[in-house]
Amino acid sequence: MEIKEEDHQFVLYDGEEYVGEVDWDDFEGDIEIVRTFVRPEYGHRGLAAQLVQIMVDKAEKEGKKISPTCSYAAAQFEKHGEYLPVLSDKTHPRGGSTGSDNAVCEIPTRME
């Protein structure tokens, strides 16, 4: 598997075959994770979790915070307490929704 950084996304490939991606936007100087996707035939291998981890690493490296408006990313932030230091405390105008019918989420609360 190979991960390539493209325009506001990390894309995962198996050789030449597209496997999945994590997409982000800039939001008030921070990072908004708007979509995490892995093709169903590659599911249940932890690949989406790896994509979120890459975003956490990016935020740490760049000194930014993350607003996970993607439901999968939000769930990963709830599951992994070690991600909380990069969780943004800014309220996103999307209110936890990426705007698509199947990607509504609750943004986890930042713990002090």
Tell me the pTM. 0.80
**Sign of the CA dihedral running 54, 31, 24, 106:** positive
- What is the reported pLDDT for 29? 85
- What is the reported pLDDT for 78? 93
Structural domains of the chain, ranges and CATH numbers in brackets: 22-112 (3.40.630.30)
- What is the reported pLDDT for 27? 83
| Mean pLDDT of successive 10-residue stretches along the chain, which has 112 residues | 94 96 91 94 94 97 93 93 90 47 33 33
Strand order in 30-38's β-sheet?
2-6, 9-14, 17-27, 30-38, 66-68
Per-residue b or e along 45-82, where b marks 16 or more CB atoms closer than 10 Å to that residue's CB? eebbbbbbeebbebbeeeebbbbbbbbbbbbbbbeeee
- What is the reported pLDDT for 98? 35
- CB-neighbour burial class of residue 5 (10 A; exposed 0-12, middle 13-18, buried 19+): exposed
Single-letter residue type at 9:
Q
